[in-house]
Structure 1
């Protein structure tokens, strides 16, 4: 038990001055979010975690209440904080930060935000990414989606929100598995893998689970500990050419294989691999234009890329038309599909056709050079990946301007980099 507590403490530990990780908890109506939260907030290893919920009455806290800070915030005997959020999430996060700064409450190590059962989680992700005051103090650690194993397939057929919640998840929490037979469980898992082949699965035991299985599963877990790429990308990197989850690599860039989809064809997933490292500015602008052009269709893009002049990979993630800030990892994996150092991006979209996939692959195979990318970015103020161009990355070397001793940058590139 002591070792388990130490592991949780390691997961929850945050360096002084670091951004506070925020986990978004979603799931369709009746999936079991409240049951899970009721079990979670009573755990002593949840001390220092603030849980934002819609109504305090939804959580069984009456006999756990220790102190009421204000009308919205109470501290439980576990040390976990519960806060009602009605309306402005950004204001609630900033109020929490101010309460810590004034030492009205102890430092918070993590925030969990529960969305309503009919909510699309992307606006919460957008708020964490795009509001400057919030993003300077908080970081999106990941999206958790609770899935009712007995009802999810029927919900998916009727409600787009259920599909969006699953497609955007970093981890899928399966509830009520004891009420679903083995055949139904297998069918549910196949459906979840079709909707989101990148998400890890966590089985809930009557709503209970270990916090270490929930947190630090997103892209910015790298700020706490090295990112587990096997967990973050899941089985998506072993999609075979016939569209099944298996052991072979994804289809190469420009190919027409590697996709999987539901029988309805509503959700389509495919993997794009880069046999040659793309230029950073060309990739940033090219992918940003794809996100804009396919807004409303692309649900998620995530993966690793190799860049010219860098020995380490860059981890990328986009939710709808929001591009997360890229993360430069320490090294490529030594084992698994990514050990070959080939960059791969997983695309998950709603309503994407085979022709859409072909066009996306073709555009990624014909990315602009640095000069053209900078020109196009200047002409597109609302480019979703504009923040990527602020990353320090080498300009793409030109074969005629390299030698064993020097890398010579043309004047227009030096000036563009200096001004940018």
Structure 2
């Protein structure tokens, strides 16, 4: 049987990044026993499927197409079928699901399928996103394809493959620096050394203790912001044209926030710039019940049903949000968060205008 919700890991990366090679190695690890692997195919010939050595009941092949368009509905059907097979005894056990996306895919629709479906959200939880980057061609791919930049930006773990093929150490270090700037919260791992625990166990809950690890889940960016949050945000600008479009905001408020204020913040953010919100994570101290933190997790306009932790897992209370955005105006995020937390960034006239017309001031 399975212990619901079942963790789902999404393995993404551009064409030729080495996803199938990594997957083949991971499948040999006993830690992935009772794991279902969903492999997306792209093109007339299912080449990736031929390269996957383990082809048993645990490997589910989707038809040709891209996960972010024609096959998206089939992904939902496939996950629903897994639950049905579990409940009817056709599958004895299922501990984890790994979805390998096509190299051309924007991962956001895949994450939305998991987080936004009313039935699937009860059976599955998004454990994390693993993005693979080819060390040889990674920089050129990021320059040429915004999809590759999105894959890196939303990842919980970034895996560098083929590092041994790079002849210039300086080039590899420049790629590492670029990846750190694009996604400061995600650890950089070597594909030849990273194991199942480092790659796939990156959700809110520690798989061993079953206790929430907020610091690890929010990432290094939020930890940095906790010590340097005078401006309550961090922006990252780069010389690469696609990189300049990605910004990470760490929003910190020391103290409880009314639920209505958080609800307004999320509604305005998603309604006005939802498509630009690649990913959002947060832990919130609610004014109505500050002893139990509220956990939020969203992708674009889809928000996972908020969850309440039984208690604070660390000694750091308050509100901590991490937003990864594409082309979202920084002033909008800062002003909106300042308004809902009553911070002095917005003057009295602006706050009065916010009460009369929230969209007017928030969209400036």
Equivalent in the alignment of 1:382:
none
Equivalent in the alignment of 1:381:
none
- In 2, Cα distance between the equivalents of 1:343 and 1:133? 29
- In 2, Cα distance between the equivalents of 1:151 and 1:46? 30
| Corresponding position: 1:261 with 2:251 | no
Alpha carbons 1:195, 1:348 under 8 Å: kept: no
Deviation at 1:234, TM superposition (A): 2.1
Alpha carbons 1:237, 1:271 under 8 Å: kept: yes
Describe the shift of the 1:136–1:340 C-alpha distance in structure 2 as closer, same or farther (beyond 3 A).
closer
- In 1, Cα distance between the equivalents of 2:195 and 2:92? 23
| Corresponding position: 1:171 with 2:157 | yes
Describe the shift of the 1:261–1:312 C-alpha distance in structure 2 as closer, same or farther (beyond 3 A).
farther
Choose which of 336, 356, 362 in structure 1 pairs with 2:332: 356
Equivalent in the alignment of 2:188:
201
Higher deviation after alignment, 290-299 or 55-64: 55-64
Equivalent in the alignment of 2:321:
345
Per-residue Cα deviation, 1:32-73 (whole angstroms, up to 9, x for no partner): 1011111122233321001011257524678755xxxxxxxx
| Corresponding position: 1:316 with 2:306 | no
Equivalent in the alignment of 1:45:
31
Q: The residue matched to 1:132 in structure 2 has which SS?
A: coil
Deviation at 1:27, TM superposition (A): 0.7
- In 2, Cα distance between the equivalents of 1:19 and 1:39? 26
Q: What is the TM-score with the length of structure 2 in the denominator?
A: 0.80
Per-residue Cα deviation, 1:326-345 (whole angstroms, up to 9, x for no partner): 333354454xxxx4423221
Equivalent in the alignment of 1:82:
59
Alpha carbons 2:249, 2:322 under 8 Å: kept: yes
Alpha carbons 1:25, 1:115 under 8 Å: kept: yes
**Greater gyration radius:** 1
Q: What is the TM-score with the length of structure 1 in the denominator?
A: 0.70
Q: How many residues align?
A: 326
RMSD of aligned Cα (Å): 2.8
What are structure 1's unaligned runs of at least 5 residues? 1-13, 66-73, 76-80, 241-246, 368-375, 377-420
| Corresponding position: 1:297 with 2:276 | yes
Describe the shift of the 1:332–1:64 C-alpha distance in structure 2 as closer, same or farther (beyond 3 A).
closer
Deviation at 1:354, TM superposition (A): 4.0
Deviation at 1:17, TM superposition (A): 4.7
Q: The residue matched to 1:214 in structure 2 has which SS?
A: helix
Deviation at 1:224, TM superposition (A): 7.3
Per-residue Cα deviation, 1:220-256 (whole angstroms, up to 9, x for no partner): 667972233332222202446xxxxxx9322345xxx
